[in-house]
Structure 1
Amino acid sequence: MSEKSEHSLAPAQLSNDSAEYIHPTDRPDLTLPNDVKNFLKQLFLECNRKISFQLSMFPNAHEESLDLLFISHFAHMQGAIKFDSNWTLRIDAHFIGGGRHFRTWEVADIGLMVMFRKNGRITRSKLAFLQSKKLYASPLKYKPQDPHFRAGLGRLLVTEEEHCELVKTMLLKYSEKSKYKALKLKSEQEGAMSMFSSRHNITLHYLLYNPSLIPWEIKTPVEGVPTIDENKVGCRVISKPFLDTSFQDKQVNYAPSYKDIRDAFKKDFSDQESVAGWKMENFICDLFINGKEGLVDDSPNFQTMLRIMSQKTSPISSALSITFDFEE
């Protein structure tokens, strides 16, 4: 490898390829065998199902709690797994927590890191960022700030008025018109994300938390565990450039609906079966790990990854690291 290529940082271009159209590389140390791929996809599929069921049962769940559910799904896997194909898989999950944000804004809730090793030696690393936004059920309202400016454990202390609102009998409904109310187009946060993306030469993505089914409704307080046989909608991923381009004619602070995202995605990716974004497990396992999405860092010492991810003060809340080791 030349000196130039060893330190190249080439951001992958947004791809129209679905999982089944990803062309495998001719490098065996970067091509996951089926036993590893199937295990990993099942792991993320189950994570998707768990988060979506939680949001279906408790539509008033905070986005932060859904992020924690994502991280906790992998946090217990603190060890290496050896497969028959002579590959080893290791997953590390870390909750970074609050810290300094980029221009006072958090640009991503979850950072994804993938490292490929051959006989223990790094051959490639990749990086992706997910900014999570949940779909709001009607009549729930988006509250951008705590009116009492509570922080830390103080957030657990609610007023009598807030308590009465939380336990009041309501019918919460999801429909195609439901909106991602915290996703404000052309907002200050969007601007900070664009600047961060340009500075680090990386495409940001949105992780959209949806219920398992749409339409869906549930009475609160919940009186029994609902039965949901299939996760038809669930967690979806779209890129920020796709969102910016698709809704460039919308006004400032417009919050797109599920139907908005679905129709725009169908228009741009008409050759795919994905609805309202890529399924989380397909994006991570096929488009990111084994595909064209994400920032590629071929340097041997994680120059870009360390600069962005290593400090607690980075504008990211949680990180998931996946390491593959191919042994010849």
Structure 2
Amino acid sequence: MPLNFSDIPEVVIDYVRERFAVANAKVTRTLEAQPSMYEETLDHLLVMELTASPRVFFAAEQIGLSIESHWLGSRWMYGRWEIADIAFFITLRQRGRLEARKLALLQTKRLYSKEIDVAELEDADYRIGIGRLADRIDPQVPLSQPRWFSFDADSVYGAMRAGHEQVQRIDAYMGERDLPVYYGLYNPPVLPFRAAYPQAPDAVPHPNEIGCRVIPAPTVHAALDALPFGQHPSFQDLTLAAPLDGADERSRQGWRIETFIADEVLRCRQGSLFDQQRDPNLQALLYGRSAPIAAAISITIDFGSGSAE
């Protein structure tokens, strides 16, 4: 009998949820401590934390699982990434033999604090390289004078704007390729949030009540359409009228990323399912010269003898 995603046992789904929750906490803690952290660095942290997950074997179920990653390169080398920053691939195998695949594309954006600017990385930053850190000869904002920063519901996702070309490109890509795209939104652990920067070495982190959230791109784009041209959407602007999960009122801010992967993608409620060995849309995503992703996370679930048979 062919494998399908409904054959994945709860213990495996629980493990995936826990690993993504750990990665969520890592990224959120970084944004809490370093409010001007680059979006690309937050992507790196998420990817690397997941990659550090050990390969595991569930003896009772005779199932092995691995989480791997591949970072495709910086924008100035391969062109500007317009569609998604991270692709999540879920692969089911039976004793190593490919059975089924799923894909979810994530375009990531971070919330900006009200007091401390975020200088987004540009192509020139990649070309200059290490000199950005080692050759700062101009006066800098003193670290010896801590200052306060804050986030609240009016804080904005500063790299997103109503009417921006990227929104149009994502819409066109979804229509052309029939692949859904989602926004991964990096937020502080709680809102409202206020802290000192630099923080004290013994600062106690907040519980991660909000953190990294995921919302379907059409829902985000509908919210952007309601804003004046060029306006940055706030946290409140992207808070939904109804929760994505009826059992979780907080999902008005989107699914937690661990819930999205474990309970939406693995359970086949979200993402794209590929039942062909060589789907043309998947091949274009993986091998096209203008492949629209910057990093990939692959979760392989391998069923052994006696599993799902």
TMscore range, shorter length: 0.7 to 0.9
Match of 1:100 among 66, 69, 78: 78
Is 1:200–2:177 an aligned residue pair?
yes
Instruction: Identify if the C-alpha distance between structure 1 residues 282 and 312 changes in structure 2 by more than 3 Å, giving closer, same or farther.
Output: farther
Report what 1:54 is aligned to.
30
Alignment of 1:92-241 (within 5 A): 92-98=68-74, 99-101=77-79, 104-143=80-119, 149-152=124-127, 153=129, 154-157=131-134, 159-161=136-138, 163-164=140-141, 169-241=146-218
Q: Deviations over 1:249-302 (max 9, x none)?
A: 21222211111212xx13364834213111000001111121221111100245
Residue type matched to 1:150 in 2?
D
* 1:105–1:192 Cα contact (<8 Å) kept: no
For 1:270 and 1:168, the matched residues in 2 are separated by 44
Which deviates further from its counterpart, 104-113 or 305-314?
Answer: 305-314
Unaligned runs of 5+ in 2: none
Q: Report the count of equivalent residues.
A: 299
Structure 1, unmatched stretches of 5+, are 2-25
How far 1:140 sits from its partner (Å)? 2.5
Cα contact 2:4–2:99 (8 A) shared by 1: no
Structure-2 change in CA distance of 1:216 and 1:158 (3 Å): farther
Give the equivalent residue in structure 2 for 1:66. 42
Q: Is the 8 A contact 1:138 1:172 kept in 2?
A: yes
**Does the 8 Å contact 2:242/2:252 carry over to 1?**
no
Cα distance in 2 for residues equivalent to 1:163 and 1:290:
49
Change (3 A) 1:165 1:128: farther
What secondary structure does 1:149 align onto? helix
Q: Report the alpha carbon displacement of residue 28 of structure 1 after superposing the two structures with TM.
A: 6.1
Task: Tell me the percent identity.
Answer: 26
Query: How far apart in 1 are the matches of 2:52 and 2:44?
Result: 13
C-alpha change, 1:145 and 1:84, in structure 2 (3 Å) is closer
CA RMSD of superposed structures (Å) = 2.7
Could you tell me how far apart the structure 2 residues matched to 1:211 and 1:218 are? Answer: 11
Q: Which stretch shows the higher mean deviation, 79-88 or 315-324?
A: 79-88
CA displacement 1:147-167 (0-9 Å, x = unmatched): x93324144356444733777
CA contact (8 A) 1:35 1:83 kept: no
Query: 2:176 is paired with a residue of what secondary structure?
Result: helix
Match of 2:274? 297
